[in-house]
Chains A and B, each alone.
Chain A
Amino acid sequence: MTESSPRRFNEQAADALQNVELQQALNHMRAGFVQRRREAIDRLPEFEGLRDESQAIKNHTLDHLDLYLEAFEKKVTEQGGRVHWAKNAEEARRIVLEICRAVDARTVTKGKSMIGEEIHLNAFLERNDIKPIETDLGEYIIQLRNEMPSHIIAPAIHVNKKRVAESFREHHTKLPADRTLESRVDILAEARSELRGRFVAAEVGITGANFLIAETGTSVIVTNEGNGDLTQTLPQVHVVLASLEKVVPTLEDATTLLRVLARSATGQEMSVYTTFSSGPRRPDDPDGPEEYHVVLLDNGRSALYGTDFQEIFRCIRCGACLNHCPVYGAIGGHAYGSVYPGPIGKVLSPALMGIDNAGNLPNASSFCGRCQEVCPMRIPLPKMMRHWREVEFDRKLNTVRARWTLGLWAFFVRRPGLYRIATRLAVGLLSRCARRRGHFRTLPAAGDWTRHRNLPAPQGGTFQDRWRKKRLDR
């Protein structure tokens, strides 16, 4: 397993910048997702209106979450399914294990689930002699490579086809060693035939949920491959993993959210398969699972309701914030060292892991604001990162140097007269020192900058002086 951690963000980010294959993959990604999203939105004049409504639907649901969860549970139970409540990852894993043991499961197929990643389910099942098989192609690839997903909707975005072929040759040992495995077509065909048998053999199928619907006791998954559907149709037992905030009131509300989800994520009008599951197979159904379980995971979330962080639970995991983030685009997902990478992870991970364990993440941002701009749910991600930075400072978690610098800066900005004098002095001094060249090659205390590039010297006075002069001129 690649042992990365938010604590080592700086080293991991530096490594990512040097990784040629990763950089090629990221270049490719940026263009695709951004452009396709733009085109899809341009085709739908009502998109901004749908965003407003989606935001209102989620705000309403989150404000009444306890009541909607109870309504959801009642409806699932009425249809012969069962809802399990898990306070933390350990409890969720134990519930899944008990369900698997009850049917003597040896293999479990899995549709893509970020909750599965969050509770580290695969490693746990393996320790208990149950073989988990990821069936989303991207998830399958990273399972073979023993990695975490590097993107919430494109988990293997960092892997090129040559590396995929290497993993397949290493793991699919029953196939002839001299087979052709050059093109993406070959690779996909091999994945399809390898996994087909697994779908049929598994006793339990585990999926995530994009939405839960309180009105009908339904879980909804959205996929393009159809792997989630085979996972939840063929085995005897279907287990849904979901966090509390996935519930929405009605079919109509889920529909509104679906209209912004695929367009924001991949730029599709609609993902290929949007599947609504309610309870186990009915008495006269010729196929489908005999048991239906929903595991609702809290894992620290309930404590954040009623606080400024409640807004993060509007997230529908479309990945648009990752696709548009200059930091994610430069370093990819693994450098963050947390299950949820990119802007959403910078806010969510400190909440779930504790700020002491994830302190670097809210700092990994240039505050350009694109994440908030493209977020279909208009989550104020930069504001929330800033909030974590404040918590970090209050709890004295930053480095001594960062605290000292911030303290010094705070001292001056609270005294505007002194600040003006000090900045004038500094600007004057710096521009005099660099008069001939106009830039510095080295400067004390600015080594992190000048190691990579020259530091331009200030010219023409402080910002405040220039601003005042400009106003007078007008």
Chain B
Amino acid sequence: MNSREAILGALRTNLRRAADGGEGAKTVMKRLTTHAQNLIPMRGQRDLSARVALFEDYAVDAASTVARVASTEDVPAAVAKFLRAHNLPTKLVRAPDPRLDAIPWRRQRILTLEARPATENDAVAVTGAFGAVAETGTLVLTSGNTSPTTLNFLPETHIVILWADQIDPDYESQWTRLRARYGEGMMPRTVNLVTGPSRSADIEQTLQLGAHGPRRLHIVIVDV
């Protein structure tokens, strides 16, 4: 008997499962296909403008920085301002994301952008997001041909362009959107929930930012 059968056999015996799975099999199938929601905290259940404000509060609590701009046109100036304030390079690597293509980057001549996955030599990455969660100030980033995962982790600075209406009350709303995009039971290779920049408290239980992932996480929220 192979190990798979030995382990499953022991579980079936100890859990007193009927040979054909019995009632249990039906219960499990139903639970997996209905994926019912559990208790959802009230905290994020607000209208859009209050949700954006809550997202901003929790993002800042988690040591992200946030800028609000009125329209897509204003994004390049906001990015340039952030880079200047932190004395960061203006050579950027960005996601090959159509929403980022539509941003008039040339208005800030100082910026140069390359659309590709990140390497260990890149200092600043700019990406979009699949969505965001107001409840905890969390970004939802998915992998795909227009959103390489390396951009989220290799560069020291990560700038995320987020449209205000992408901010949902809770994670559950994001799962609903994911299922609509990728199909029932299907996921992209990677979904990153990101709440703030990288950190470690492994030395004397004292928090330090910038462990292995980005030291800075800057979120530019575009009003809609």
Contact = CB atoms under 8 A, between A and B. Distances in A.
Interface of A: 25, 28-29, 32-33, 44-46, 49-50, 53, 57, 60, 63-71, 75, 79, 85-87, 91, 135-138, 141, 154-157, 160-161, 164, 184-185, 187-189, 191-192, 195-197, 199-200, 214-218, 224-227, 229-230, 233-234, 244, 249-253, 255-256, 258-259, 266, 268-282, 284-288, 296, 298, 302-307
A-B pairs with lowest CB-CB distance, top 8: A226-B213, A306-B14, A225-B211, A138-B202, A302-B10, A274-B193, A276-B191, A250-B35
A302 B184 CA distance: 31
Given A195-B212, A273-B213, A164 B32 contact: no
A44 B41 contact: yes
Contacts of A45: 41-42
Of A32, A156, A270, most B-chain CB atoms within 10 Å: A270
Nearest to B32: A215
A64 B185 CA distance: 19
A229 B149 contact: yes
A250 B33 CA distance: 9
Contacts of B137: 269
Interface size of B as a range: 35 or more
Given A250-B32, A277-B190, A285-B148, 11 more contacts: A45-B42, A67-B25, A85-B3, A154-B201, A188-B210, A224-B211, A252-B38, A272-B62, A278-B188, A287-B117, A306-B15
B15 A270 contact: no
Given A85-B3, A306-B14, A161 B8 contact: no
Given A66-B11, A216-B186, A229-B192, A161 B204 contact: yes
Contact of A288 (B96, B189, B196): B189
B192 A71 contact: no
A270 B195 contact: yes
Interface in B120-179: 120, 136-138, 143-145, 148-150, 152-154, 171-172, 175, 178
Contacts of B143: 281-282, 285, 287-288
A287 to B, nearest CB: 5
A46 B42 contact: yes
B126 to A, nearest CB: 16
Interface string B8-41: 1011111111000100110110011001111101
Nearest to B208: A188
Contacts of B24: 63-64, 67
Interface of B: 2-4, 6-8, 10-17, 21, 24-25, 27-28, 31-32, 35-39, 41-43, 58, 61-62, 96, 116-117, 120, 136-138, 143-145, 148-150, 152-154, 171-172, 175, 178, 185-206, 208, 210-214
A72 to B, nearest CB: 10
Contacts of B32: 71, 214-215, 249-250
Contacts of A157: 205
Contacts of A67: 17, 21, 24-25, 28
Contacts of B204: 25, 28, 160-161, 184
A343 to B, nearest CB: 20
B205 A288 contact: no
Contacts, number: 269
B208 A296 contact: no
Of A68, A229, A296, chain B has the most CB atoms within 10 Å of the CB of A229
B145 A226 contact: no
Nearest to B13: A306
A279 B36 contact: no
A28 B207 CA distance: 13
Nearest to A282: B189
A141 B202 contact: yes
Contacts of A255: 38, 171-172, 175
A255 B37 CA distance: 10
Contacts of B194: 272-273
A67 B28 CA distance: 7
A66 B198 CA distance: 37
A153 B8 CA distance: 30
